[in-house]
Amino acid sequence: MPAKIDSLGNWRRTHYSKDIKPSEEGKEATVFGWVSGIRNQGGIVFIIITDKDGVAQITVHKNKISKEVLSRVESLSDHASIAVKGKIKAMDKAPNGAEIIPDGVKVLALPQKTPPFTLYAKTLPSIDKRFEIRAVDLRRPEALAIFRIREKALETIRGFLKDHGYYEVNTPKIIATATEGGAALFPLLYYDKEAFLTQSPQLFKEQLVMPFEKVFEIAPAYRAEQSRTLHHLSEFLSIDVEEAFVDYKDIMNTIEKMIAKLHASISKECNKELETLGTKVPSIEKIPRMTYDAILELLKGKDAQVEWGDDLTSELLDKIAEELPSYYFVIDWPTKSKPFYIKPSSNPEISESFDLMHGSLEIASGGTRLSSKKELINRLKEKGLKPKGFEYHLAVFDYGMPPHAGFGLGFERLLMVLTNQKNIREVSVFPRDQFRLTP
Ligand code: 4AD
Ligand code: MG
């Protein structure tokens, strides 16, 4: 006999799972969720349901319940969507110390297929297999833990920036010219003109220090990355900050405080999630600053082949990470290795720039910006870019652009660190890469 599907009718939630606790003993509750575990122990069936906040235990005493409710209980399997009405009872061994003794159950949806992975499996099918049904994959406790941490991290960073007086802005994602060099742009048709998806809000945020002084934006950025790595997405969440009347050292101080605050709040408020992921978030106070030159010395001490001016390849970064496994800044990069808007220092070969690293992973880049139009035009030419293409940007520099500095941070990369993930795709709900455009 096919199992019966009930309608929602007039049942509405009275409690979330987190509210099923000993202090509510004796109260009537209606809870909703999906079945994430069933255990049949002779005369008792334990059903675990998961809702947006966590899990609750439904304890069914077979001989104390109507045949009708029992037949519904017996039709359940993992992922079934259900509603339960019953009484809350304190119970030491249950999640949050209480369970629900049901007198009514509604079956709202039953799975028609079994996913190619179980919720608590230690070994999983390939990421591509799981991502075909990503929303179901996201029901695994590890995935839920990652996204609860993601949410908390975003809230903490936004709160930190607001508390420090930054304005939140939103800038266009459809743009006319490249900001970070031409290679990795996605072109698109904008009416009858060629346009691009933005790689970074860099130029907009610089302009916005004129009216707002301190700005930040949290928004997607797009890069047509040609290689498939474990730390590149085609669409990532960029946390961008720009500030007038400061230089790159002040900006690094701000990042240091932000990372310290982030680590403190995740380790305090995401205990359960970190435990589910089998990881810890250490407390951070100071982030060491290493000059590019000092990094080259370190590399030479490890027999690496590297010349002054070279970029730090992934092989070199792996060697550095052996000595510096946590956060560190690489500062004072060769001017020629940085974009046109970065300010050279008193020695023009070296720039007022930094990368925030964690082991071999680049988390953020930033620096002091050029605020003189003349110098910007020179740097554009040196980089082989046409100043004419940037006229719309350079125009405002005629009206008293203050000195300013800032950074752009890859939020998913930071989350990889916090949640101890090796593949950036695990920290994005629907990742985009060279080979993935669905779901
Ligand atoms: O280092 P990037 O290219 O710097 C900028 O966009 C500058 N406008 C920042 C600035 O204010 N000077 O990008 C910033 C960060 C990187 O450090 C990295 O963490 C992240 O964005 N990122 C990516 N994350 C995931 N997938 C990709 N394809 C990424 N490309 C950059
Ligand atoms: Mg960078």
Q: Is 368 exposed, middle or buried (0-12, 13-18, 19+ CB in 10 A)?
A: buried
* Angle CA 15–19–24, to nearest 5: 95
pLDDT of 183 over the 70 cut: no
Point out the ligand 1 atom lying closest to the alpha carbon of residue 364.
Answer: 17
Within 120-192, strands assigned E span 167-168, 174-175, 187-190
CA 408 / ligand 1 centre spacing (Å): 6
State the distance from the centre of ligand 2 to the C-alpha of 108, rounded, in angstroms: 49
Give 2's pLDDT tier (boundaries 50, 70, 90): low
Tell me how far the alpha carbon of residue 171 lies from the centroid of ligand 1, in angstroms.
17
- What is the residue with the minimal CA distance to atom 20 of ligand 1? 410
Substitution candidate for ligand 1 out of 233, 236, 425 with most atoms within 8 A of CB: 236
pLDDT at 226: 87
Provide the percentage of residues in the chain whose pLDDT is more than 70.
98
Place of tokens 């092989």: 315
Angstrom distance (rounded) from CA 173 to CA 169: 13
pLDDT digits (tens, 9 = 90+) for 187-231: 999 999 999 999 999 999 999 999 999 999 999 999 999 888 999
Res 149: pLDDT: 98
Q: What does the mean pLDDT of the chain come to?
A: 96
186-189: long-range contacts, CB 8 A cutoff, minimum separation 24: 186/222, 186/224, 186/234
What is the tens place of the pLDDT at every residue in 33-53? 999 999 999 899 999 999 999
- Which helix (H) or strand (E) segment holds residue 343: the answer is none
Q: What is the residue with the minimal CA distance to atom 9 of ligand 1? A: 408
Q: Which residues line ligand 1 (CB under 6 A)?
A: 180, 200, 202, 223, 225, 232-233, 236, 238, 362-367, 406-410, 412-413
pLDDT number for residue 4: 83
185 Cα to the center of ligand 1, angstroms: 13
What is the per-residue pLDDT across 139-174, written as a single tens digit (0 to 9) for each? 999 999 999 999 999 999 999 999 999 999 999 999
Q: What is the mean pLDDT of residues 335-360?
A: 97
Which residue's alpha carbon is at the smallest distance from atom 23 of ligand 1? Answer: 410
For residue 118, give Cα distances in angstroms to 50, 122, 141, 353. Answer: 15, 9, 11, 47
Q: Which atom of ligand 1 is nearest to the CA of 361?
A: 19
pLDDT over 60 (residue 182): no
Q: What is the mean pLDDT of residues 54-76?
A: 96
Is the model's pLDDT at 365 over the cut of 90?
Answer: yes
Interval 372-420: pLDDT, tens: 999 999 999 999 999 998 999 999 999 999 999 999 999 999 999 999 9
Dig out the tokens for 187 from the structure: 């072109």
Sorting pLDDT into bands at 50, 70 and 90, what band is 109?
very high
- In order of their start, the domains of the chain are 17-109 (2.40.50.140), 136-427 (3.30.930.10)
